[in-house]
Copies of this chain bind each other. A is one copy, B any other.
Amino acid sequence: MELWAKEYQSEDLVLSYRIKETLHTERSKYQDIAIVDTYQYGRMLLLDSVVQTTEVDEFVYHEMITHVALSAHPNPKKVLVVGGGDGGSIREILKHKSVEQAILVDIDERVVELSKQYLPSISCGFDDPRVTVNIEDGLAYVKRAKNEFDLIIVDSTDPIGPAVGLFAQEFYRDLYAALKEDGMFVAQTEPPWSSKTFLPELHSVLHNIFPIVKLFLANIPTYESGLYSFTICSKKHDPTVIQPGKHVPNAKYYSPEMHKAAFTLPPFVAELVDMK
């Protein structure tokens, strides 16, 4: 018998993965969680039937959502991850020696627990003494924080379901307040090919809050269109410039040259976020 996991990337597009085995499924308090073992991409985490991460390609997403900002900030010491319960962002953050505290806030403790159990190559940073995990709504956590973080990474699901508040103006104002005076935040902001309304609206909102707002891109095979966008907002430092003394060991997608190239946008993407 052949088993296939199907993801509706849109109502008109389905990506299907042949699977060896369904390792776990459950309905948590917040969402459907599934972990399957695929032939092409190794083990895969799905939330509400949407692919979140796979063993084979997760390095792209996790390297790019962390190292761009960590390399552009001169001395990031205290870093917050909102979402990211699989632990991949935490694993990458810990590669930066300046980091003293890496705090993860995920609303769903089952994602953290199941990632520890089934995705050890991704979740392997959770035992580091610099890491704290808080099971709580990221919105509430960020609202309480004031002038506290050098960097906040919003490593969320898509802007539907439990993550919808993570794409609202009030949240971005709270993020601004939670950052130190030279802080940055970075978020995953969907594939440009299918975000021709979302990205212009998002960047319009962010430009009213942060002095510096930039989009960058990365190739992620298991996300719709294979091209994913990230938005980085900064109070002071130019996120396209790498600070002196930065080194990211063992990166497979990120490099100083890829840092620069990722901010080079094809004209059809540039026009989505050009606010002139």
Q: Does A164 contact B (CB under 8 A)?
A: no
Q: What are the residues of chain B within 8 A of A38 when measuring CB–CB?
A: 12
Cβ of B14 and Cβ of A4 under 8 Å apart?
yes
Cβ of B226 and Cβ of A255 under 8 Å apart?
no
CA A25 – CA B190 in complex, angstroms? 35
Q: Does A251 contact B (CB under 8 A)?
A: yes
| Minimum distance in angstroms from A191 CB to a CB of chain B | 8
Q: Does A131 contact B (CB under 8 A)?
A: no
Q: What are the residues of chain B within 8 A of A267 when measuring CB–CB?
A: 251-255, 258
Q: Does A17 contact B (CB under 8 A)?
A: yes
Q: Does A130 contact B (CB under 8 A)?
A: no
| Minimum distance in angstroms from A7 CB to a CB of chain B | 10
Q: Which residue of B lies closest to A57 (CB)?
A: B193
Q: What are the residues of chain B within 8 A of A11 when measuring CB–CB?
A: 18, 39
Option from B13, B14, B193, B252 in Cβ contact (under 8 Å) with A266 = B252
* Most chain B C-beta atoms within 10 Å of own C-beta, residue among A10, A12, A220: A12
Scoring A residues 30 to 45 as 1 if CB is less than 8 Å from chain B, else 0, what string do you get?
Answer: 0000000011100000
Cβ of B258 and Cβ of A264 under 8 Å apart?
yes
Q: Does A15 contact B (CB under 8 A)?
A: yes
Option from B16, B252, B257 in Cβ contact (under 8 Å) with A264 = B257
CA A258 – CA B268 in complex, angstroms? 12
CA A15 – CA B268 in complex, angstroms? 24
Q: Does A261 contact B (CB under 8 A)?
A: yes
Q: What are the residues of chain B within 8 A of A39 when measuring CB–CB?
A: 11-12
Q: 11 extra interchain contacts, Cβ-Cβ under 8 A, other than A15-B16, A59-B268?
A: A11-B39, A12-B18, A12-B38, A219-B219, A219-B266, A221-B227, A225-B226, A226-B227, A253-B268, A254-B266, A261-B264
